[in-house]
Amino acid sequence: MTSDHDPSSKTSPGKDRLFAEQDRAISDFDFGESTARVFDDMLDRSIPQYGELQRMIGELAGEFATPGSRVYDLGCSTGLTLKSLDQTVDPGATLVGVDYSKAMLDKARENLDGPYRAGRLMLEHADLNDGIQIDNASVVVLNLTLQFVRPLNRESLLRSIIEGLNPGGVLILVEKVLGSDALLNRLWIKLYYDMKKRNGYSETEIAKKREALENVLIPYRPDENIKILARNGLDNVDMFFKWYNFAGFLGVKA
């Protein structure tokens, strides 16, 4: 077995080595074909408690999804969250995955071939910065997605999502977050990078990805996320998950 630092492992299928090369030029992070090929490994090694988060999202969605309604995963990427939803939500609900990356949608279609062929799952190509039409939704999931939407567009996007939620419907939001205190925020980031090192990422990879994400991923503080959800039409909002600089929020439409 090769280690994450073994040069021979760079060609391993699905292994995230996007930022491993010392001489690679830095550009803004994107969700194109090269990222789609390694995205599942990237999430597993970069997002704390990612497997548990997926279980929690599926469990929460299962509590609110209703027969005949739609369950949306906005920014569905390769379909990992949709796979959790397929296992937990009411079989009479339709799953809808939306992403602006065609490469990610191709991977999602491959990963969820059964539900897709059976008509249980629909996949749509759309850029959330341009807005989206949500219809008959009992559950909408934004799993590490809103942080990539330009701040100028977040309020209008959330309003359109919440307008499309049925009464009693729920929005599940997972985000990277800022600390409310500068000292603690630096600590959360340090501990997060320590986790990435434990999972095999080098200092070079961490630094280059941080630079690539600098103008692309724009996080809010936890209290800002709660306020923006409440301000745009959710009546009961709470935080269901927190790990240093990551948090999950749930809001119910009365």
pLDDT at 234 over 60: yes
pLDDT computed for residue 95 by the predictor: 98
Only one residue has tokens 């991977």, namely 107
The C-alpha atoms of residue 63 and residue 17 are separated, in whole angstroms, by 38
pLDDT digits (tens, 9 = 90+) for 223-233: 999 999 999 99
Kindly state the tokens that stand for 244.
Answer: 């240093």
Digit-coded pLDDT (tens) for 194-230: 999 999 999 988 898 899 888 899 999 999 999 999 9
pTM of the model: 0.89
Mean pLDDT of the 102-109 span: 94
How large a percentage of the chain has pLDDT more than 70? Answer: 88
pLDDT band of residue 19 (cuts 50, 70, 90) is: low
Please determine, for residue 30, whether its predicted confidence score (pLDDT) is greater than 70: no
Residue 26 DSSP symbol: P
* Cβ pair 39, 104 in contact under 8 A: yes
Domains of the chain by start residue, with CATH: 1-6+20-254 (3.40.50.150)
Determine the pLDDT at residue 28: 54
- Residue appearing with tokens 């995230």: 16
Over residues 64-92, the mean pLDDT reads 97
User: Three-state DSSP class for 125?
Assistant: strand
Report the pLDDT value the prediction gives residue 250, as an integer from 0 to 100. 98
Q: In angstroms, rounded to a whole number, what is the distance separating the alpha carbons of residues 89 and 248?
A: 19
State how far the Cα of 114 lies from the Cα of 181, in Å rounded to an integer. Answer: 47
**21 vs 132: which has the higher pLDDT:** 132
Mean pLDDT value of segment 145-165: 97
